[in-house]
Amino acid sequence: MKFKYLLILPLLVASLQAAWSVSDLTFTLNGDRTEYSVSHRTTSRSGSLDIPSTYNGLPVTSIRNQAFQNCTSLTSITIPDSVTSIGHEVFVNCYDLSSITIPDSVTSIGDSAFTNCPSLTSITIPSNVTSIGNNAFRSCISLTSITIGNSVTSIGNNAFYNCSRLESITIPEGVTSIGDYAFDKCYSLTSITIPNSVTSFGEYAFRDCDSLTDVAIPDSMTSIGKGAFDSCYSLTSITIPDSVTSIGDEAFYYCTSLTSITIPDSVTSIGGKAFYNCTSLSSLTFEGDAPTFGTYVFSRSDSVTIYYYDDATGFSTPTFQGRPAVAVYDTDGDGVSDNSDAFPNDPSETTDSDGDGVGDNADVFGNDPTESADSDGDGFGDNADGFPTIPTQDIVNEIINNPSVYDLYSREGIQDLRTNSTILDVSNNQATIQIQMEESSDLESWTETGDTAIMVVPADTDTKFYRFKMTE
């Protein structure tokens, strides 16, 4: 029995930890003695904490470095809108911290501010913050979503390292740099949007992003850093813009699902082991002259064939860099080889998606093999348009103004019919008219749509005219 009590006692002690209160905090006057910074007195409190906006009549404007480090039982914290800065390592090892509200007043978040907060699931970085510090959210293994404010211009080294459940992230326009290892080991990351403002990202920035399937590198980038996509096993495609001049060592190391890649003519150097063990890579197409190569660039990528234009320099056949090499032709000089160009003699066209013989650039209906032109711009292809040179909105006017062309009665001839005409029969004090509706798609060929309609109305012998109109 004594052992039972001894085993239970630590659990009881843990559950009886006191809740946070203002008396558990330390307030320090800043240099000019007009405002306070805050930190904790103890790490033994549990539950939630509301930081006050004032203390002794002065505003609380900052959270000190390491202020709540190792407060393992802190579950949530509310920061007042008087606070403008969060220091370094403020919430390191706050294991139970699952909720935090950062107000818009905050402009800076220090390095390692939330490192190893394994219960934190989501966070919004307010719009006034300009940078995300090094290791800011490192090993926040339960973090699934994050919203980054539009004022952020840089993401620090290891900022989201080992955020293993983070699934997607949109980097706002305005961010210019992404640090080393910034998203390393984000195993669940399936998509990431990199804006055109980004000019560089550091070494191993996206290493071990196992679930990432495709990436479009913005045309603001000039280089792809060392190990940038190392061991991105699910990456099947990547677009490299012609602004990139260098591809670093191990950039696509162990990208085992990557099947093809095009190297623009702007690239002048490719680092060692850049495509090492890309076992599914079957084609690598160079659009310009051969760049300089590091060592073992294609080692263990045994299925790859290198393609280059016949007028490019620095390549060789039948092999190049130890892999099969094939010279391809580009007769019209549009940057697409004749083998892949649906119009090898037309530099303005390369593809014909609907197979109608008209290039996609000139084809108004690129996915409709029965249409390619719309001369009157009314949204209907010329082949199906009864009036290919007249926009739809003008057809009615065309018919009204030229009734004889279409063998139709004029508006007046239909609306005003004289008594005892061949169209309208008046006898025995009754007026009778027979109407037959017909339909046409071209105003030349007509077919009946139904039975003849007969209308009979009383007719006064003094009535001279009848008029017919369309009802609402």
Could you read off the pLDDT of 10-19 as tens digits, one per residue? 333 334 456 6
Complete DSSP assignment for 187-245: TT--EEE--TT--EE-TTTTTT-TT--EEE--TT--EE-TTTTTT-TT--EEE--TT--
pLDDT band at 460 (very low <50, low <70, confident <90, very high): low
Q: Residue 248's Cα: distance from chain center in Å?
A: 26
Looking at residue 18, the DSSP 8-state letter turns out to be P
pLDDT band at 383 (very low <50, low <70, confident <90, very high): confident
Distance CA 24, CA 94 (A): 16
- Answer yes or no: are the C-beta atoms of 131 and 111 closer than 8 Å: no
Q: Are 238 and 244 in contact (CB under 8 A)?
A: no
Asked whether the CA dihedral 269, 274, 279, 281 is positive or negative, the reply is negative
Question: Pairing between strand 246-247 and 269-270?
Answer: parallel
Burial class of residue 395 in the structure, from the number of CB atoms within 10 Å of its CB (0-12 exposed, 13-18 middle, 19+ buried)? middle
CATH topology of domain 223-350: 3.80.10
Most confident of the ranges 24-28, 198-202, 300-304: 300-304
Q: Is 143 exposed, middle or buried (0-12, 13-18, 19+ CB in 10 A)?
A: buried
Residue 278, CB-side half-sphere exposure with 13 Å CA sphere: 28
Rounded distance, CA 45 to CA 57, Å?
A: 26
- 142 pLDDT above the threshold of 60: yes
Beta strands in 350-452 (DSSP E): 416-418, 425-427, 430-435, 438-439, 447-448
User: Taking the model in full, what pTM does it have?
Assistant: 0.69
Across the range 57-80, mean pLDDT stands at 93
Strand intervals (E) in 136-182: 145-148, 154-155, 168-170, 177-178
Domain boundaries defined on the chain: 223-350, 410-467
Which residues are CB-neighbours of 54 under 8 A, at least 6 positions away?
60, 82
Residue ranges of the alpha helices (H) in 202-356?
none
Q: Quick one: average pLDDT of 208-232?
A: 94
pLDDT tens digit string along 411-423?
A: 455 544 444 445 5
Q: What is the pLDDT of residues 263-290, one digit of tens each?
A: 999 999 999 999 999 999 999 999 999 9
In a 10 Å sphere around its CB, with 0-12 CB exposed, 13-18 middle and 19+ buried, how is residue 253 labelled? buried
SS3 content of the chain, % helix, strand, coil (to 5): 5, 25, 70
d(C-alpha 460, C-alpha 338), whole Å: 83
214 contacts 236 by C-beta, under 8 angstroms: yes
pLDDT tens per residue, range 287-338:
999 999 999 999 999 999 999 998 899 999 999 999 999 998 877 788 777 7
Q: What is the mean pLDDT of residues 54-64?
A: 95
30-55: burial string, b at 16+ Cβ within 10 Å, e else: eeeeebbbbbbeeeebbeebebeeeb
**Do 197 and 221 form a contact (C-beta atoms < 8 A)?**
no
| 3-state SS class at 125 | strand
Residue 318: is the preceding peptide bond cis (ω within 30°)? yes
